Amino acid sequence: MIVATLHPLQWTILLLVVAGATAVVLTRDVQRQIVVNGLYGILLVILFTVFAAPDVALSMLVVGTVGYPLVVLIAIARTRK
Amino acid sequence: MSVAPYLVAGWICVIGIYGIVTSRNLIHLALCLTVTQSSTYILLLAIGYVKGGGPPIFKGVKLGTTAVDPVVQSLTLTDIVVSVTVLALILALALNVHKEADTINPDEIGELSG
Amino acid sequence: MTRRIRIAMFVPALAVLGGLLAWSLVAIPKFGDYRGPYGYVLNRVVVPERHMSNVVTSVVFDYRGFDTMGEEFILFIAVTGIVLLLRKQERDDAGELGDEIGSPGVRIAGTLAVGVSVLVALWLIAFGFVTPGGGFQGGAALASSVLLVFLVASWRSWSGLANDKVLDPLEGIGAGGYVVVGLVALVDGLPFLTNLLGPGKTGTLVSGGSATFVNWCAGIEVAAALLVLFSEFLEEYIVPLARGGGTT
Amino acid sequence: MSWIVPLPAVIPLLGAAVITAVGHFTPRIVHNLLAVASTGTSFVFALILMASSVPQERLHWFGGWHPRGGVAIGIGFAVDPLGAGLAALASGLTLAALLYSLAFLEDASHPYHVLMTAFGGAMCGFALTGDLFNMFVWFELMGVAAYALAGFKIKELGPLQGGINMAVTNTVGAYLIVTGIALLYARTGALNLAQIGHTLAGKKPDGLVVVALTLLVVGFLVKAAIVPFHLWLADAHAVAPAPVCVLFSGAMVELGLLAVARCYWTIFDAPFGLHHHAIRGVLVALGIVTALLGALMCFLQSHLKRLLAYSTISHAGIMLVGIALLDTKSLAGAATMVLSHGLLKGSLFLCCGIVLAELHAVDELRLHGKGRNFPLLGTIFAVAGVGLIGLPYVGTYLGHAQIDEGATLDHVAWVQPLLAIAAGLAGGAILRAAARVFLGWGPQEDWLLRQQPSEEPPANVGHRPFLLAVAALMLVLGLAVSLVPGLGQRAEYGAKRFRDRAAYAREVLHGVPTKGTPRLPFVLQPTTRESVLYGLGAGAIALLVAAFGLWRHRLPDAWRLLAGRVAGPPLEGLRAVHSGVIGDYVMWLTVGTAVIGGVWALTLR
């Protein structure tokens, strides 16, 4: 029943998003984490598009590909021992 | 009952909080915070979704065509901006912590207690 | 309090929280069946009343434009806070960094890329009321394309552009401009942020009425604020390198 | 008159933007002027708004988007006397803090003024709005300004840790709020408070509504520093500059409480009105635990600002009890207590700033007797401490008396002695600190009190009498609250209006104005004999506690040994909970949410 009302595309991307979020949290090494987080961001962009929210997808795209990585990478670089 | 998208949001919220509590690195913690926040985007957009609905943009589309809820999308936009700013603020604080304490493990800062 | 105690107390509590969230879903409208009044009404009245074809942008800058003002100030205040937090206790001089990229080919390609992405960003802002986009997305894209200058040119050209003497006034104008547009309506005897110029022609640049100004204010503010943010963080990275101090 | 409604919130924002725009090209005096002028304007408009909202709610629909057929399509401010009153207090305290900063932080660069000014505006917006998501926006705006201000001293580790703890805890709270808003939106398709309440009315509440209630209440209680969500507050207060603490303690915490009351009386009274005992029970219990635990922790501090921070937590608990009793009298009591507490606590924090500037420390033990040459400062500090105890007709007394009366009406009179004990204990700790610092009483060592990292004094402190004058003015105003004729009656009238959900919804959604106001007398609010006795009792407890803190070593050895055996381990355990580690704080937040939500899941049906 749960499956029936969802489009297969929606199913796939939802499962990928779950896996992505879990991976971001469980990746304890921040240098790997920022890469995983980037992938998670792209999954979210796809999900938002599937949910018929192009405006939100566009924001997430800009923020996830430039905003997050830049500040986080610099923070990682400055705090490396 | 089709609640799968909501369950996804719930799981992401829970796993994000788990990451925050168990984190040993402030940068990791800040990213877990953004993961928790991403659960609110998914929840909001899933709530406003209408089966078979297109985006609430009526350019080249007849008015009255089924479209998803525009309000949750505007709320999500606000939410995303908030997440970037909070992430950057926490990272700025973390950078300063590192300068003073030479660690960014929240368990090791240990300046304030009691 | 040790880590073990913390996690031992935390995991059951988290399970309860997860259970509560799941419980709340028992009677939630089914996915795809949502029929709330707010969005439904707006999807039907916005195009005829306001002549904006992108309902999301019209909600962002008109119907719930006041939220967006607050949101813009969240960004503005957070960036101001970061400037305060990352302020230098002593004066730094990073101007001695040499240009890092020598190849003219890379420069020409880079300059082109900057030009194209700036145009895309401006297009995103301008047509926000027509197609997906708007001040926030466009402003963020604009900031990102200026960031390319740093990547393809040099720290010096970047710091020439992303100078706080230029950016701070822009930030102030963007954030303050939003409030001023709201106050103009108030002076006119109308509620704050009333859309004054009436509906424009659907599908055109001016379809937003005075929300167009608000949209551009947001675009300027977001671009300037993000540039300040990037430049504060980049400075954290570059300045110690320039001093030969390596990390920390 | 409705044109003034948005001004208390938007004028400071405009001021902040202008300061940034001209910041690099103008001298500091211009930044100061702009900050003070815009905050002062906001204060004046908030006062006018408070007065003009007495006859009827003041509405302002942004963008002119009035509701259509009971569906709100825009954002509205819906101003009632209590909300406007808190906005006026918030902008008034911001004004006082900015004036104080003129001399206290002479070197502060313009971002400091931008943050303070915008912080004031955000607090006003939060107090005035009638839209749930708009509340979240102001909540976050207050938040981002506050996190940066807490970490203002970037060369000291303590402030940075305090800033991070505050930022992470409050941000998690904010996400809980958004999740709650999303759930309510799923059910009602509305964001306007009145419309949500109206849509939920008359339907049987289910899991969704209970969880939404839990998430919203918890999210706002994080800001209100209620146990077990209070841990960030002591860290943030201990380290923030004194004028910033005034805003944290005097207004920001109280806004969290206002939000809980607002959400209950506009939304959740509709579905849960018949089950309000369960809601009252949980919130009253939280309030009492907070009041007592905060007071106890207050007694265990030697760092003056941390001590005052715990006193704020204790008072937040008392105010929560006032709100949680869910009746008019107690709500009015909470409101008058917010007013007097904000002014008195503000005065105390400003005194701490002066102590830091003059004596280069804020630790009670380190400062032992060093304040003897500052009699005026010591007097202000001690009298403000006395004002917080609730002695008859002094300071917070009116609030205590009204909560007492409400509790008696609700047949929960047992809360009164507990609140008096909490107020006495916290007040005694402040008096002990005052006696040790300004009179040199008691020993210089005390194993009960834990030292905290020291704080760098501000570099250039300007005109000191001016600093004292600001603190003294706030003290006088705070003390006078219980003596203002007619204030109690007006607070009760405001509380009655605040609780009238049906009238609020009619006015907001359909523009039906409320009926004319009764003529309220200008006489002192009569209080009961019990209240007077409780006030005197709290005073006696405070004296005993202060004496115990100072001269404990004179007690017979056997007593002290026994007391140490009995009380030592629990106290150490209590301290260990306040660990300063962010992971622990979020763990407690989760535990608190699970417990509150679990209890309500079982009882609210």
At C84-140, the pLDDT tens digits run 998 875 444 444 454 455 567 777 777 788 888 888 888 888 888 788 888 888 998
Residue bearing the bigger pLDDT, D60 or C29: D60
pLDDT digits (tens, 9 = 90+) for D234-286: 989 888 999 999 999 999 999 999 999 999 999 999 898 888 899 999 999 99
Residue A14 CA, chain-centre distance (Å), reads: 11
Give the pLDDT band (50/70/90) at residue D151.
Answer: confident
Mean local confidence (pLDDT), C220-246: 80
Mean pLDDT of D4-10: 94
Does the CB of D140 have a partner CB in chain B at under 8 Å? yes
Q: Is the pLDDT of residue C49 over 90?
A: no
Which tens digit of pLDDT belongs to each residue from D307-363? 999 999 999 999 999 999 999 999 999 999 999 999 999 999 999 999 999 898 888
From C121, which residue of chain A is nearest by alpha-carbon distance? A62
The pLDDT > 70 percentage for chain D reads 99
Residue B43 has a pLDDT of 95
pLDDT digits (tens, 9 = 90+) for A18-76: 999 999 999 999 999 999 999 999 999 999 999 999 999 999 998 888 888 888 998 99
A13 pLDDT more than 60: yes
Taking the alpha carbons of C21, D501, D191, D146 in that order, is the dihedral positive or negative? negative
- Residue D382 above 90 pLDDT? yes
- Name the pLDDT band for D1 (thresholds 50, 70, 90): low
By Cβ distance, the residue of C3, C13, C165 closest to D24 is C165
Q: Which of residues 90-129 of D touch C (CB under 8 A)?
A: 109, 111-112, 114-115, 118, 122, 125
> What is chain C's mean pLDDT, rounded?
82
A positions 38-67 inside 8 Å of C (CB): 53-55, 57-59, 62-63, 65-67
Please name which of D387, D478, D466, D426 lies closest in space to residue D89, comparing C-alpha atoms. D478
Of residues D325 and A1, the one with the higher pLDDT is D325
CB hemisphere CA count around D220 (13 angstroms): 27
What's phi and psi for D68, nearest 5 deg?
-115, 120
Residues D250 and D343 sit within 8 Å (Cβ to Cβ): yes
Is D182 in Cβ contact with B44 (below 8 Å)? yes
> CA–CA separation, D436 vs D363, rounded Å?
10
When pLDDT is averaged across residues C18-45 and rounded to a whole number, the result is 87
DSSP state of D225: T
Residues of chain D found within 8 Å of residue C191, distances taken between Cβ atoms? 2, 60-64
Residues of chain A with Cβ-Cβ distance to B24 below 8 Å are 28
Q: What is the pLDDT of residue C120?
A: 86
Q: Report whether C105 contacts A27 (CB < 8 A).
A: no
Provide CB contacts within 8 A for D242, sequence distance 6+: D100, D104, D305, D349, D350, D352, D353, D356
Instruction: Tell me whether residues B74 and C64 touch, CB distance under 8 A.
Output: yes
Query: What percent of chain B has a predicted confidence (pLDDT) above 70?
Result: 98
Asked if C21 lies within 8 A of B59 by C-beta distance, the reply is: no
For B36-63, the pLDDT digits (tens) are 999 999 999 999 998 888 888 887 777 7
Contact B72 C56 (CB under 8 A): no
Q: Residue C91's pLDDT is what?
A: 45
Assess contact for D187 and D230: CB atoms under 8 A: no
B85–C79 C-beta distance less than 8 A = yes
Is it the case that residue D34 has pLDDT exceeding 80? yes
Q: Examine the pLDDT at D469 and tell me if it is beyond 80.
A: yes
Using CB atoms, pick whichever of B7, B57, B74 lies closest to residue C60. B74
Subunit contact C62:D63, Cβ cutoff 8 A:
yes
Cβ D313 vs Cβ D336: under 8 Å: no
Between chains, do C71 and B81 touch, taking CB under 8 Å as contact?
yes
Q: What pLDDT was estimated at residue C102?
A: 56
A70 and C132: CB-CB below 8 Å?
no
C210 and chain B in contact, CB less than 8 A: no
Residue ranges of alpha helices (H) inside C25-154 are 37-50, 55-58, 65-85, 104-126, 135-152
* Percentage with pLDDT > 90 across chain D: 72
- Partners of residue D192 on adjacent β-strands: D131
Residues of C in contact with D117 (CB under 8 A): none
Residues 6+ apart with CB under 8 A from D550: D432, D435, D436, D441, D442, D443
Contacts of C204 in chain B (CB under 8 A): none
Q: Are D145 and D119 in contact (CB under 8 A)?
A: yes
Helices B26-48 and B70-101 pack at an angle, to 10 degrees, of: 180
| C76-112: burial string, b at 16+ Cβ within 10 Å, e else | bbbbbbbbbbbeeeeeeebeebeeeeeeeeeeeebee
- Given CB atoms, is D211 within the 8 Å cutoff of chain C? yes
pLDDT of residue C162 exceeding 70, the answer is yes
B9: nearest CA in chain D? D179
Whether residue B88 and residue C33 make contact (CB cut-off 8 A), yes or no, is no
CB contact under 8 A, C77 and D115: yes
Which residue shows structure tokens 């909600």? Answer: C59
Within an 8 Å CB–CB cutoff, is residue A18 touching chain C? no
pLDDT in tens, D520-537: 888 888 888 989 999 999
C 14-33 residues inside an 8 A Cβ radius of D: 14, 16-17, 20-21, 23-29
Chains A and D touch (3+ CB pairs under 8 A): no
Report pLDDT for D341: 97
The answer to whether the CB atoms of B56 and C43 lie below 8 A apart is yes
Q: ∠D241-D137-C37 over CA atoms, to 5°?
A: 165
pLDDT of amino acid A2? 41
Name which of B8, B15, B55 is nearest A52 (Cβ-Cβ). B55
- For the ranges B39-48, C57-66, C197-206, which has the lowest average pLDDT? C197-206
C78 lies within 8 A of chain B by CB: yes
Query: Are D160 and B102 in contact, with CB atoms under 8 Å apart?
Result: no
Q: ipTM above 0.85?
A: yes
**If you average pLDDT over every residue of chain D, what do you get?**
92
Strands (E), D65-135: 76-79
Mean pLDDT of C213-232: 91
Cβ-Cβ contacts under 8 Å for D152 (sequence gap 6 or more) = C84, D112, D159, D240, D241, D244
Residue among A53, A67, A74 minimizing CB distance to C236? A74
- Position with higher pLDDT, C157 vs D172: D172
Amino acid of residue D273 = G
Q: Is residue D221 pLDDT above 80, yes or no?
A: yes
Alpha-carbon span D360 to C102, nearest angstrom = 54
Arithmetic mean of pLDDT, D384-404: 94
Task: Quote the pLDDT of residue C245.
Answer: 47
Cβ-based contacts under 8 A for chains C and D: 235
Report pLDDT digits (tens) over D68-112: 888 899 999 999 999 999 999 999 999 999 999 988 887 778 899
Residue D295 φ then ψ, to 5°: -65, -40
CA distance C83 to C228: 8
Who contacts D121 (Cβ-Cβ below 8 Å, separation ≥6)?
D8, D9, D10, D11, D12, D13, D15, D16, D42
Amino acid identity of residue D517, one-letter, is: T
Residue of D nearest to B91 (CA): D164
Q: Does C86 touch chain B (CB under 8 A)?
A: yes
pLDDT, tens digit, 9 for 90 and up, residues D111-147: 999 999 999 999 999 999 999 999 999 999 999 999 9
Structure confidence at residue C124 (pLDDT): 87
pLDDT of D521: 86
